[in-house]
């Protein structure tokens, strides 16, 4: 079945870069998404990438997509303590009716 896998934890120091990785199984998706969830809150769309692109940059965020390996990554430059949150990778299901989420990567930023 469709699946999305992520590493569960990442710890970085303030000012360093963070790289969160994701692998997915359904390669038919038009878009792939990254969501951010702060404690006790809902999910906030952070960024997305069109499947025909290899890279998308949006201020401190860089998304890299390797369609051949079905690998997606999110790089956060100059990571701040406010970036501490859970980051979810999401891939639409084949029917396009729902998002399949990974288990989330907890990013911890220390000063």
* Nearest residue to 4 via CA among 21, 18, 16, 19: 21
**Cα–Cα distance, 85 to 74 (Å, whole number):** 14
Query: Is beta strand 18-24 parallel, antiparallel or unpaired with respect to 9-13?
Result: unpaired
Smallest distance from the beta carbon of 75 to another protein, in angstroms?
21
In terms of CB distance, is 17 or 28 closer to another protein?
28
In terms of CB distance, is 10 or 102 closer to another protein?
102
In terms of CB distance, is 53 or 77 closer to another protein?
53
CA angle centred on 82, ends 78 and 87, rounded to 5°: 85
* Nearest residue to 22 via CA among 37, 40, 35, 38: 35
- Coil, helix or strand at residue 54: coil
In terms of CB distance, is 17 or 30 closer to another protein?
30
Smallest distance from the beta carbon of 15 to another protein, in angstroms?
28
Smallest distance from the beta carbon of 101 to another protein, in angstroms?
4
- Coil, helix or strand at residue 101: strand
Positions touching another protein (CB under 8 A) are: 4, 29-31, 33, 35, 40-45, 48, 88, 92, 96-99, 101-104
Smallest distance from the beta carbon of 52 to another protein, in angstroms?
15
């Amino acid at each position: 079945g469709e699946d999305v896998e992520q590493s569960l934890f990442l710890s970085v120091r303030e000012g360093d870069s963070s790289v969160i990785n994701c692998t997915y199984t359904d390669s038919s998706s038009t878009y792939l998404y990254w969501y951010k969830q702060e404690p006790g809150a809902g999910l906030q769309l952070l960024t997305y990438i069109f499947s025909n692109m290899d890279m998308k940059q949006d201020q401190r965020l860089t998304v890299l997509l390797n369609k051949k390996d079905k690998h997606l990554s999110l790089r956060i430059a100059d990571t701040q303590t406010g970036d501490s949150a859970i980051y979810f990778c999401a891939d639409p299901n084949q029917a396009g009716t729902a998002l399949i989420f990974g288990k989330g990567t907890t990013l911890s930023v220390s000063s």
